[in-house]
Amino acid sequence: MYSDHKPRNREADLVELTIGFTDQSSSSPNSHCIESGSMLPLSLFVSLLVLHLPHASADGDICIIGGGISGASTAFFLTSYTSTLGGAQLRVFERRQKVGGRLGTVTLAGDSFEAGGSIIHPRNLHARRFADLLGLAVKTGGDDWLGIWDGKSFVFQTARPPPVGSSWWRRKLHSLVNSLLLLRRYGLSLLKMDKFVQEMLRRFMLFYNGMESRPVFATVEEMLQWTGLYGLTRRTLEEELLDAGLNTRTIAELVTVITRINYGQSTHISGLAGAVSLAGSESGLWAVKGGNWQLAAGLLKTSNATLHLQEGIDSITDAGDHYVLRSNSGSEYECMVTVVATPLDELNITFSPPISIPPRKMQHTHATFVRGILNPGYFGLNSASDIPELIGTLELPDIPFSCISVLKRYSEGDMAAYKMFSRAKLDDGLLDQIFRARIETIRINWAAYPHYQAPEEFAPIVLDGKQLYYVNTFESAASAIETGAVAAENVARLIISRLSLLPQAQQQQPHIIKSFAEQESQRRHVDL
Ligand SMILES: Cc1cc2nc3c(=O)[nH]c(=O)nc-3n(C[C@H](O)[C@H](O)[C@H](O)COP(=O)(O)OP(=O)(O)OC[C@H]3O[C@@H](n4cnc5c(N)ncnc54)[C@H](O)[C@@H]3O)c2cc1C
């Protein structure tokens, strides 16, 4: 029926993604937010944190390279934990025309979908707090109809979900049936997997402890050792899960599907990245309505940083008591502090003198968006409506994609918007086998996250022992929106403490700085 439509093919570069600033002022903070009644208005939150600092000892600006969630969070925490930054100007450089980095949306046939970082765990407190503070509406997902594909057939499927608008009891029944189906195939391994993930989360939550009980860390190793998570970066996920008592079928099927979806890699990734990936399959996941990039945009706006869009930094030169940053527009900036908030692995920034960091490869994920109709024959089925809405795949050489998921269904027959992840580009010939009809296709090649390999090695947070910081070294532990925020918060505290700003601030108003965890507990109190 749709085969005579001429397919539209687009190679989308990040520049084409619809990411950028919008005016949030018109959005109602309470309209669609999770726990909307318990929000702290942004202005009040900022004023609670404001500290009046004396002028900083060094001259120059505080410069952040990268307008993604890590750079934006660094800017936010720096300005939240101090009032004047000792008189220094905060500059954020973003080489693209929009902020957000690996958070961005893509427009397919008029509809906007997350193209990069798309889901956020309910216990990611920084991200949740950011969304609340910025008055961003959020949405949560429903149960997926998962099918595990081995290249020939679906070796496992959850139950087809009830129609939209079904009654509460029908949805409950569906979720109960799914639990029984999973239990029948994977047995007690499911509970063991859950225990493994909950233990990781319990330790990760220590990063939200109050500042009086949470040190400022100078290395990623220290951060992880303090939480008890370091050991997980020394061994593979598979080794960890076998030790935790999971059976091989669960690892080869369910766990593999999840690591391939979330990190495009097998269960040989390091244990911590693997545990974070597994947490991304829990219930209660959420996203910002209109795109998660708004978290970065909102934080940058709130921090009042001077944003240099389309200004990439080409070189960083140590000039003694400051750094000279030279941008691709030929401008030079004197910065007493420089924060690199982007992975350095595929960048050509020249450091003088050179810096030395362990080699790290980025895993490329090709995100392919198709508006069309899947070909049931490709999956050995008779009808497109029998194809599960989330197809996960096993780690087998002949399977060309990691996953295919339905983003939206349209009223015309079996027409839908699909997102596919793969390790290599999916060319037209292959897509024409997978799809019976294709109206529009958009491809994005992401340098998505580190290629994880236990034991992980970590670049220093302080790259030169002076005032040159690297947020994205933490990505070698796990790459996610929240890990970016956690790493950024630590870097902000490290900068403040190493510039000797914090002690003066604390002397003035010791009760004013509150960690998110403290605010969280107050919030809970109010809620009760
Ligand atoms: C396909 C995909 C799916 C993902 N899914 C999830 C998910 O569901 N949930 C989740 O939590 N995470 C997910 N992630 C990971 C998450 O998106 C990233 O960990 C996070 O967004 C990284 O943020 P960042 O700010 O550290 O880096 P980036 O977002 O990469 O930001 C770095 C910024 O620096 C800029 N830059 C680079 N070099 C320069 C320069 N020389 N000068 C100036 N600017 C420069 C870049 O343009 C970029 O904007 C996913 C990632 C991808 C790619």
Lowest mean pLDDT among 160-169, 322-331, 394-403: 160-169
Question: Which of 7-11, 173-177, 202-206, 347-351 shows the lowest mean pLDDT across its residues?
Answer: 7-11
Q: Tell whether the model's pLDDT for residue 467 goes beyond 90.
A: yes
Q: Which residue has the higher pLDDT, 28 or 427?
A: 427
Q: Which residues partner with 440 through β-bridges? A: 8, 371
For residue 20 and ligand 1, the question of a CB distance below 6 A is answered with: no
Asked whether residue 53 carries a pLDDT value surpassing 80, the answer given is: no
Q: Which residue from 94, 102, 201 has its CB within 8 A of the most atoms of ligand 1, so it is best to mutate?
A: 102
Q: Is the CB of 71 under 6 A from ligand 1?
A: yes
Q: Quick one: which atom of ligand 1 is closest to the CA of 444?
A: 1
What is the Å distance from ligand 1's center to 80 Cα?
A: 22
Q: What is the mean pLDDT of residues 59-77?
A: 95
* 446 close to ligand 1 (CB < 6 Angstrom): yes
Question: How large a percentage of the chain has pLDDT more than 70?
Answer: 83
Instruction: Give the pLDDT of residue 165.
Output: 83
Ligand 1 contact, 341 CB (< 6 A): yes
**Burial of 239 from C-beta contacts in 10 A (0-12 / 13-18 / 19+):** middle
Whether ligand 1 lies within 6 angstroms of the CB of 118 is answered as yes
Q: Residue 22: its pLDDT value, please?
A: 26
Q: For residue 141, what pLDDT is reported?
A: 80
- The predicted model gives 480-496 an average pLDDT of 97
Q: Which residues contact 168 (CB under 8 A, 6 or more apart)?
A: none
CA distances (Å), 187 to each of 75, 192, 247, 404, in order?
46, 10, 9, 26
Q: Is any ligand 1 atom within 6 A of the Cβ of residue 65? A: yes
E strand or H helix at 326, and its extent?
A: strand 323-327
Region of 4 (left: φ > 0; alpha: ψ -120 to 50; beta: rest) is alpha
Here the tokens at position 500 are 């000797």
**Higher-confidence residue: 259 or 283?**
259
Which pLDDT does position 32 carry in this prediction? 23
Nearest CA to ligand 1 atom 25: 68
Lowest mean pLDDT, pick from 96-100, 159-163, 369-373, 463-467: 159-163
Is 286 a pocket residue for ligand 1 (Cβ < 6 Å)? no
Ligand 1 atom with least separation from CA of 367: 1
The protein residue whose alpha carbon is closest to atom 53 in ligand 1 is 448
Neighbour tally for 124: CB within 10 Å: 25
Name the one residue in this structure whose structure tokens are 């509970």: 191
59-132+284-361+454-499: what fold? FAD/NAD(P)-binding domain (3.50.50)
pLDDT in tens, 431-459: 999 999 999 999 999 999 999 999 999 99
Q: Which of 256, 192, 262 is nearest to 483 (CA)?
A: 262
Region 487-514 average pLDDT = 67
pLDDT at 512 over 70: no
DSSP-derived letter for residue 257 is H
Token pair belonging to 304: 């009042």
70 is annotated as contributing to ligand binding: yes
pTM of the predicted protein model: 0.88
Interface ipTM > 0.85: yes
> Does the N-terminal peptide bond of residue 353 adopt cis geometry, omega within 30 degrees of 0?
yes
Whether the per-residue pLDDT at 354 is higher than 50: the answer is: yes
Given a cut of 90, whether residue 76 has pLDDT beyond it is: yes
Which residues of the chain are in CATH 3.90.660.20 domains?
A: 142-164+362-450
Query: What is the distance in A from the centroid of ligand 1 to the CA of 97?
Result: 15
Kindly state the DSSP code that residue 95 receives in the 8-state scheme. Answer: S
pLDDT band at 9 (very low <50, low <70, confident <90, very high): low
Residue for token pair 């949740």: 128
Q: What is the pLDDT of residue 517?
A: 44
DSSP string, 39-51: PPPHHHHHHHH--
Residue 46's pLDDT is what?
Answer: 32
Atom number, ligand 1, closest to the C-alpha of residue 421: 1
CB of 473 within 6 A of ligand 1: the answer is no
Q: Is the peptide bond before 29 cis (omega within 30 degrees of 0)?
A: no
Please give the pLDDT value at position 181: 96
Give me the mean pLDDT over the 452-469 stretch. Answer: 98
**How big is the CA angle at 118 (ends 114 and 122), to the nearest 5 degrees?**
145
Gap between the Cα atoms of 197 and 283, Å rounded: 13
C-alpha distance from residue 111 to each of 247, 294, 417 (Å): 41, 17, 9
Residue 479, helix vs strand vs coil: coil
Under 8 Å between Cβ of 15 and 96: yes
Q: Is the pLDDT of residue 507 over 90?
A: no
Return the percentage of the chain with pLDDT > 90, whole number: 77
User: Is 286 strand, coil or helix?
Assistant: strand
Mean pLDDT of the chain: 86
User: Distance from CA of residue 90 to its chain's centroid?
Assistant: 24
Residue 412: the pLDDT is: 77
| pLDDT recorded at residue 18 | 31
pLDDT at 39: 26
Q: Of 385, 364, 365, nearest to 376 (Cα)?
A: 385
The residues of the chain that CATH labels 3.50.50.60 are: 59-132+284-361+454-499
Query: What average pLDDT does the segment 2-25 reach?
Result: 39
Please provide the distance, in angstroms rounded to a whole number, between the alpha carbons at the two ends of the chain. 56
**How confident is the model at residue 8, as a pLDDT?**
59
* Span 246-267, average pLDDT: 98
Question: Which of the four CATH numbers 3.40.50.150, 1.20.1440.230, 3.40.50.970, 3.90.660.20 does domain 142-164+362-450 have?
Answer: 3.90.660.20
271: CA distance to ligand 1 center in Å? 21
